[in-house]
Amino acid sequence: MQQRQLGRQGLTVSALGLGCMGLSYGYGPATEKQQAIALIRAAVERGVTFFDTAEIYGPFINEDVVGEALAPVRDKVVIATKFGFDCDKPGQMLNSRPEHIRAVIEGSLKRLKTDYIDLYYQHRVDPDVPVEEVAGTIADLIAEGKVKHFGLSEASAETIRRAHAVCPVTALQSEYSLWWRQPEQEILPLLAELNIGFVPFSPLGKGFLTGAIDSRTTFDSSDFRNIVPRFSEASRLANQRLIDVVKALAAEQGVTPAQIALAWLLAKAPWIVPIPGTTKLHRLEENLDAVNVTLSQKALNNINHALMQIDVVGDRYPKHLQARVGK
C-alpha cells in the first residue's frame, strides 16, 4: 500500500483509508460486531493504516467496534475520530464548548481502547463557539498527549484559516467526489497554500458511483439516503448519465467504476486521502486496488471534460443538514 502525508506535522497514512461509519450507522442496520471487526482487520492485513470513526456514529457503537478491532495493532495504525455533537441529547445538537470537548474525549479514548487520538476532528462547526476556542482546546489536548493532530470537517475557508492560526490543522475532511466537486473552488487551493491534507468522505458518492445503484434501487427504511434529495428516484434517473460516463471510462481502462472514481481523487494531489467505506470484503479489495490504477493526463482530461457537460441533479443533504456545512 502506498503512503501519503497529511499536513506538515508528520502524519503519514495509507493512500486509502477506511471510513467505518457504515459498519454501524447511516446505511441500514448495523453490521454484526464480529463481522465488522473482521472487515477492519482485513483492511489492516491489506495495508490500510488509516481508520475513520466518530462518537456520533451509533452513537458510540462505531468507536467501540473500531477500538476492539484495532487494539492488537494500535501502534501501527492511525485512528481518526470526531467531536462536536451532544450525543446525550436528541436531535444531534451541536456542542463544541471547551468543557464539552474535554468531557467527551475521555469517552472516545475509552471506547477506542487507547490513550491518544491520532487525528481529532471537529465534526461540524459550532456557530455558538468561536473556532479559536475550539482550536485552543485541541492545542491544549495535544500538549497533554491526548491528541496528536487537529482536524476540521465540512468547514469553510474562513473557518479553516482562523483555526489554523491558533492550532495547525493537519487535515480537513469533507465530501468530494466525481459528483460533488465544490471543494475545487475555494477549499483545495487553500489547503495547498496552508499545507493541510484533505480527506474526502463519500468518495464513491454514497455508493452511486459504483454503478450498483439505479432509479429502481430501494433502501432499508433506516438508510440515510432515503432523505437525501440526490437519491430521490427522479434524481437517480437524471444522474444516470454520470454513471454511464464513468462506466465507459472504466471499460476503457479495464477497471471498475469505483476504481475510476478513487483513482481520479488520488490523482488530484498527493495530499488527498479518500476514505471509502464498505461492509463487504470484495468491495474493500476492489477499492484498495484503485491505488494501482494510473490515469494518464489524457484520461484525466477526458474525465474532466465529460464532467463539465453534466449537471448533477439534487442536493447532497436535506435542508436541515445542509445548513450545518460550509460554516
Query: Which residue numbers are catalytic?
Result: 57
* Alpha-helical regions (H) of 33-166: 33-45, 61-70, 98-111, 131-143, 157-166
Q: Say which amino acid occupies 198.
A: F
Question: What number of helices (H) and strands (E) belong to the chain?
Answer: 11, 11
Q: Cα torsion at 130, 114, 169, 267 (round to 10°)?
A: -130
Inter-residue contact 29 to 285 (CB < 8 Å): no
Q: Say which amino acid occupies 204.
A: L
C-alpha distance from residue 37 to each of 20, 42, 151 (Å):
10, 9, 25
| Distance spanning both ends of the chain, measured CA to CA | 35
Beta bridge partners of 81: 120
Inter-residue contact 77 to 115 (CB < 8 Å): no
Inter-residue contact 325 to 156 (CB < 8 Å): no
| Interior angle at CA 141, CA 135 and CA 144, nearest 5 | 145
